[in-house]
Amino acid sequence: MRLRTSSVLRLIRPSIVTDVKSTRPFVCASCRRFSVLNRPPPKYDAHVPLTLAERTALTLGSGVLSFLNPRRGDMIAAFGELTAQPYFINRLRNIMLADTTGRRILRDRPRMSSSTIPLSYLSKLPSNTVGAAFYTWLEREHLEQDTRAAVRYIDDEECAYVMQRYRESHDFYHAVTGLPTMREGEVALKAFEFANTRLPMTGLAVASVFTLKPAEKRRFWETYGPWAFRNGTHSHDVINVYWEEELETDVQELRNRLGIEQPPDLRAIRKAERDKRKAAKAAEETIIP
């Protein structure tokens, strides 16, 4: 006996529905990528979003490499960014938001480079100005302006700019204090920055004082360490300085306004001690028959 067409459809329809439902999860699962590999989209140009595992591994690795090799600028930059969030960089942003000039900096988002602060302009400024001090420091240390890496690992876009601003302002701290870029000078400046900004990376940099030579350690503990912590703690927040607007300001006037005492000339002290050692050695050689 032949079944009617409608009867046949009624018989097979349940199995069709069941088969479709049973295969749907399999099809979707095969098309969907594993969720751990789904990296969130970047929030700004240089941003590199990281998973928790990646962030932990990079923090530990960059911290160890930064301590073992202070010349690894890439690792120092990465460690600085990874340890600054979430608390420390948010604190620095809040300091800027609480200050009139800091708010203007966050609104304007200025960037410091050779194109925005050209050397041709700096070289023509009077010798007592902030810009001239910056130019003289760059020439003496044989440095260029465009050496600061872009922030990559801070997730919040505004906080990333705060870190970028700190990074680009670092050379101005050198210029205003007069501290050189040799390791002894960098340790002293990082101690000042740690007391002023509380960024963990600057504190780790201070720990490298234990790798300095005995004479350098002595100078740090006796002179530059106390200077750094005293001035960093009591001076105004240097993150709120609009450096682009202070280039023609008298550098001593700016130091007074910020509450920063200029430390003893480290290069002059090192030279005097070298000359003293040479003179003592020469005296010994003349005595020996």
- Decide if 213 is inside a domain: yes
The pTM of this model reads 0.81
Res 149: pLDDT: 86
Res 19: pLDDT: 46
- Decide if 30 is inside a domain: no
Per-residue pLDDT of the chain (289 residues; tens, 9 = 90+): 444 444 444 444 444 444 444 444 444 444 444 444 567 788 888 899 988 888 999 999 988 887 777 677 788 889 999 999 888 999 999 999 999 999 999 999 999 999 999 999 999 999 999 999 999 999 999 988 888 889 999 999 999 999 999 999 999 999 999 999 999 999 999 999 999 999 999 998 898 899 899 999 999 999 999 999 999 999 999 999 999 999 999 999 999 999 999 999 999 999 888 888 888 887 777 766 5
- Decide if 41 is inside a domain: no
Res 251: pLDDT: 97
Q: What residue has token string 């300095």?
A: 212
- Decide if 147 is inside a domain: yes
Res 37: pLDDT: 57
- Binding positions for Zn(2+): 170-171, 174, 186
- Decide if 287 is inside a domain: no
Domain count, the chain: 1
- Decide if 35 is inside a domain: no
Q: What is the domain extent for residue 235? A: 52-263
- Binding positions: 170-171, 174, 186
Res 223: pLDDT: 96
- Decide if 70 is inside a domain: yes
For residues 9 and 77, give the distance between their C-alpha atoms in angstroms, rounded to a whole number: 69
Do 137 and 168 contact (CB within 8 A), yes or no?
no
- Decide if 99 is inside a domain: yes
